[in-house]
Structure 1
Amino acid sequence: MVVTIDFQHVFKHPLQLVVETHLTKYPNAKDKWVFKVETLERKIDLSKGVDYRRRWAFCENILPNILRQVSALNVKELILEEEAWLNIRSGHLQLKSRNITWASYARMSEESKFARADDNPNWTVFKQHGQIDINNFGPLTHLLEMFASKIINYGVQKTVRIMEELLTERAGKSDS
């Protein structure tokens, strides 16, 4: 079974601020789960107006101890990869994310987009589609899928909350 999520949110802030905030939000004191982000590759294509970045986020393993009894799941940190294409001309940021850790057991992928809202160019629409496909865990597969579903939903809500808090802080600083 594949666990999926589709999510949409409107940030009442300009695209430039939202994109900048997304690209610099981790690590931060509001979320201890992501403790390091490394940029592995960055290319700017001036002829196409595209700024490309490939980054790894290093996260704490938040699996419950009961699931960590499986040796493959008992790792200290998780690594997630994010590829980002900022199209400066059309004014949108497209993202693709996937797990590096546990890739042979589970495949997590997200596709996200930040773009100016059609009805208000000073607002930004965030759309995300994500899925997790877990295999090779026999009877634990269903339990892991249920846990993954809860974590995905919680993670999206938490990310939006953190983004809103950071955006409010940063917008306040730019006003002064």
Structure 2
Amino acid sequence: MVRQYNSPVWTYKHNFETVMKAYEKRFPVCDKIPSFCGSEVVRETDDGIEQCIVRRCYFAIDMPLILKKILNVDKMVFVQTNVLNRDLKTLNIDAVNESFSSKITVTEHCVYYIHPDNLNWTCFHQHATMDVKSLFGLENIAEKFVLKQYNNNIKKGKEILEFFIEEIKK
């Protein structure tokens, strides 16, 4: 069954450049996000207007032992593609899980952009889908686990970004 998540638009009352500096502080590793084990850049291009960074991101997973055994994983790996357009002042982020993708597929699209009514503010929107395939009758457990982890990471991500914004302002 495919589940979808659409976040309400979140507004940071800070300019785009500040929000982007704060966002970049998450990489290559961020001790403020306990489940985030790190990342590595797979590919990077930059023509001065548009920068594209493809990263492999690693997350520790806290799931029931039976799921760990079925999926044969201790960490989740996501491939994340970030496209920063400096002229349009947008950052599009697409991520898909590489780990156990034959059993569970998680895709996410996020975008940061300038607030339409205030050029000094930055908006954030997030959309994700999750498709749990056959897991020998454990599909509901897997769905609950993935949704719980995902919701925790969304909340933590917003808190961390605000923390880094305040750090930059100082």
State TM-score, norm by structure 2. 0.91
Partner of 2:44: 42
Structure 2 contact 95–107 (Cα < 8 Å) conserved: yes
Distance 1:72 1:144 in 2: 11
Structure 2 unpaired stretches of 5+: none
Cross-structure match for 1:51: 51
Aligned-partner Cα distance in 2 for 1:158–1:22: 13
Residues 82-135 of structure 1, C-alpha deviation per residue, up to 9 Å, x if partnerless? 101111111111110010111111110000100011121111100000111010
| Cα distance, 1:29 vs structure 2 | 2.3
Q: Letter of the aligned partner of 1:169 in structure 2?
A: E
2:109 maps to a residue whose letter is E
The separation in 2 between residues aligned to 1:29 and 1:19, in whole angstroms, is: 18
Find the counterpart in structure 2 of residue 155 from structure 1: 153
Unaligned runs of 5+ in 1: none
Aligned mates of 1:37, 1:95 — CA distance in 2: 15
Alignment of 1:2-151 (within 5 A): 2-7=2-7, 8-26=9-27, 27-46=29-48, 49-68=49-68, 71-151=69-149
In structure 2, distance between residues paired with 1:23 and 1:169: 13
Aligned partners of 1:116 and 1:30: how far apart in 2?
Answer: 26
Instruction: Kindly tell me the number of residue pairs found equivalent between the two proteins.
Output: 168
2:162 to 156, 164, 169: 164
Contact 1:3 1:148 in 2 (8 A): no
CA contact (8 A) 2:30 2:38 kept: no
Is the 8 Å Cα contact of residues 36 and 59 (structure 2) preserved in structure 1?
A: yes
Question: What are the superposed Cα offsets for residues 26-49 of structure 1, whole Å, 9 maximum, x if unpaired?
Answer: 422211211211111011124xx2
Distance 1:61 1:148 in 2: 9
- Counterpart code for 2:160: I
Aligned-pair distance for 1:53? 0.7
Matched to 2:24, the amino acid is L
Greater than 2 Å deviation, 4+ residue runs: 64-68, 71-74
1:66 CA displacement: 4.4
